[in-house]
Chain A
C-alpha cells in the first residue's frame, strides 16, 4: 500500500543522524563481510598454491597401496599409459613421474636418513618449484644416468658438503633385495624454504634412481598440476577416476594433505565466527536504534491506534521501515565492500613469506570479488535486518492506546 511506504520513508528521514548511523552499521557489516570473504578466499588460495605448487603438485597418482606404508615395491607399472592419459587431458597443465624411497646419505662428516627422489628434470620443472629454488650450482641436466645430485641447503650444512663434494647414497634394491650404494657429486643446492623438503629430499636423475631401486622403468608417484588450480579441491571431479588405472589411484591435495585441508576448513570456520560476531553486534544495534525510534513515537502510535489503525498495519509499517533501511544499506554496503576488495586486490597484501602453520605464503594476497559476495552475503544481511526489525515491530503492534495516551500526557 502506498501509504505505508510513504510513512516508512518519511519516518526514517525524521531522525537523520540515527538513520545515518543505522545505515552505516548495516552497510559496514555487509562491507566487512564482503571484504573478509574476498580476503579469506585469497588467503586460502595462496596457502593452497604455496603448498601444492611448491613440491607436491595439485594431484598425485600412486599405486593404490603405496601411501599406506610408502612401500617401495608398490610401484606404478604402466607409467607410459598414465603419462599418455595425462598428456591428452586438457585440464592438466604439467606432470612429473618420480621414483622415490627411503635412503641413507653419507658424507665424510655425517650419515643422514633422507628420501631419495629420481626425477625427469624437465618435467619436474613444470610441476614444482625445484628448478627456481636453486641457490647454488646447476639444476639437474639429464634424466639418464649421471652422478648429479641436488640437495637442500640445510642438508648440505648438516652433511658439511659443498658443490662438487662427494656423497654416497644407499637405497634398497628390490630386484636383488639388498642395498645398492652409489657415489654422487653435489651439482646443485636448492632452498624450497620448507624445513621438511630442504632437509629430507635429495634429487637425482630418474634413471639413476630406478636403477638403484631395481624397479625398471616403473615409478612410485606421478605429480601433476591443473590448468585451473581450483579444480584440484573438487573431489567429485570425474577426472580423478579417469586418471586412475586398475592398480593406481589419482588424488588431489585435499586427500593428500589432510592437514592443509583442515586448515582451509578452519578458515571457513573463522569466516563464520567473524560473520556471527558481526551479525550479533549489528542485530543489537539495529534493534536498539529501532526501539529508540519506537519509544519516541509511543504517543503517536497511541493516537493512530485510537483513530482506527489496525495493529497489523503498525507492524507492517515498522517492518517497512526496517526493509527500507535494509535495502539502502545493501546498496551502500555492496559498493563499500566492492571498493575495499578492488583496492586491496589491485594493491595486494604482502605478508613477505610469512609462515602460517608451516606453509610459507609465497605470494602477495589479492582479495577476490565473487558473485556470492553480492548475492548470498547481502541476502543474509537483509534477512538479519528484517529479523532485527521483527522485535521492535511486534513491540509497536502491542502498544495499548489507552496506556500510551495516558503515560505521555
Chain B
C-alpha cells in the first residue's frame, strides 16, 4: 500500500549556537491510508513541529516530507498554500474557528476557497455537521458554542474539504476528559466509517489508548512505534 505521508531524515532546528533546539532530529515515519495514529510525547518533545512539517506549514532544515510520493517540503508559497487547502485537514488545540463566521460558514470556508458550487457546499456542510452531532446549531457563532462543540465544528471543517489526511495537534488538550473522549470517539468513527486518515498528538494516556498506532517522540526523535489491534 502507498503511504499517505512519509518523512525522510526530517530535521527542524530552531535558534543557533548555544540556543539551538533540535525540535525534530532525523525523523523517519510513514503513515498509511486509513490509519488512526497518535503522536505521543511530553510537552516540548516536537509533536507540534512534526505535525506542522507533515502538514506543509513549515520548511525542514534537512530531509523531506512526501505526501503520496510528492515532496511537499520542496513546494513554496502559493503552491503550498493551495496544497494544504486541497489535501490536508488541520485541527488545533483551540480557537480553530473564525469567530465572525457561524459553524456552517466556518465549514464552508475551505470549500469556498476551493470554488465548490454553493448547493454542494451547503449539502456537505449540513450532513457533516449532523454527523458530528451539531444538527440545529449550524448558524451559531463559535462564541455561542461550548469548547467541545467548537472542536467538533473544527473536525467537520477538516472533513468537508475531503483531504487526504487530517492532522490534529492535541485536539482534546483544552477539553475536560469526558468531552475529550467523546471528541476522539467521534473522530475514530469518522476514521472507521469514512476511511479518513487521522494523525493526532497527545500526552494523555487515556486518549492514546484509542489510537490504532502510536509514535513516541522525545527530544525530537522517534523513540518507539507501536501498533495495536482494534
Indicate which residue in A14, A300, A304, A409 contacts B93 across the interface (CB closer than 8 Å).
A409
Quick one: which of B88-111 are within 8 Å of A by CB? 88-90, 92-93, 95-96, 98-101, 109-110
Per-residue contact bits, chain A 350-372, to B (CB 8 Å; 1 contact, 0 not): 00000000000000000000000
The verdict on A258 contacting chain B, using a C-beta distance below 8 Å, is: no
Quick one: which of A81-140 are within 8 Å of B by CB? none
Per-residue contact bits, chain A 304-316, to B (CB 8 Å; 1 contact, 0 not): 1111111111000
The verdict on A11 contacting chain B, using a C-beta distance below 8 Å, is: yes
State which of B63-71, B76-84, B179-187, B200-208 sits at the interface with chain A.
B76-84
Report B-chain residues with C-beta under 8 Å of the C-beta of A11: 100
Report A-chain residues with C-beta under 8 Å of the C-beta of B55: 306
Quick one: which of B44-91 are within 8 Å of A by CB? 48, 52, 55, 57-58, 77-78, 81-86, 88-90
Report A-chain residues with C-beta under 8 Å of the C-beta of B109: 3, 304, 307
Residue of A nearest to B112 (CB): A3
The verdict on B130 contacting chain A, using a C-beta distance below 8 Å, is: no
> Is A306 in contact with B57, judged by CB distance below 8 angstroms?
yes
The verdict on B113 contacting chain A, using a C-beta distance below 8 Å, is: yes
> Is A402 in contact with B92, judged by CB distance below 8 angstroms?
no
Give the CA-CA distance A304 to B57 in the complex, in Å: 12
Give the CA-CA distance A238 to B78 in the complex, in Å: 61
Residue of B nearest to A312 (CB): B78
The verdict on A79 contacting chain B, using a C-beta distance below 8 Å, is: no
Main secondary structure of the interface of A (DSSP, over half): helix
Report B-chain residues with C-beta under 8 Å of the C-beta of A303: 90, 92, 95-96, 98
Count B interface residues, CB 8 Å.
31
> Is A308 in contact with B112, judged by CB distance below 8 angstroms?
no
Residue of A nearest to B97 (CB): A303
> Is A308 in contact with B110, judged by CB distance below 8 angstroms?
yes
The verdict on A406 contacting chain B, using a C-beta distance below 8 Å, is: yes
Indicate which residue in A7, A305, A402 contacts B98 across the interface (CB closer than 8 Å).
A7
Report A-chain residues with C-beta under 8 Å of the C-beta of B89: 307
Report A-chain residues with C-beta under 8 Å of the C-beta of B77: 311
Report A-chain residues with C-beta under 8 Å of the C-beta of B57: 306, 401-402, 405
Quick one: which of A351-399 are within 8 Å of B by CB? none
With both chains docked as a complex, state the minimum distance between the C-beta of B216 and any C-beta of chain A, in angstroms: 21
Give the CA-CA distance A13 to B161 in the complex, in Å: 29
Q: Show 16 residue pairs from A and B whose CB-CB distance is below 8 angstroms, ordered by the A residue.
A: A3-B112, A13-B100, A299-B95, A300-B99, A303-B96, A303-B98, A306-B55, A307-B84, A307-B157, A308-B83, A308-B84, A308-B86, A308-B161, A405-B48, A405-B57, A406-B48
> Interface on B for A, CB 8 Å cutoff?
48, 52, 55, 57-58, 77-78, 81-86, 88-90, 92-93, 95-96, 98-101, 109-110, 112-113, 157-158, 161
> Interface on A for B, CB 8 Å cutoff?
3, 7, 10-11, 13-14, 299-300, 303-313, 400-402, 405-406, 409
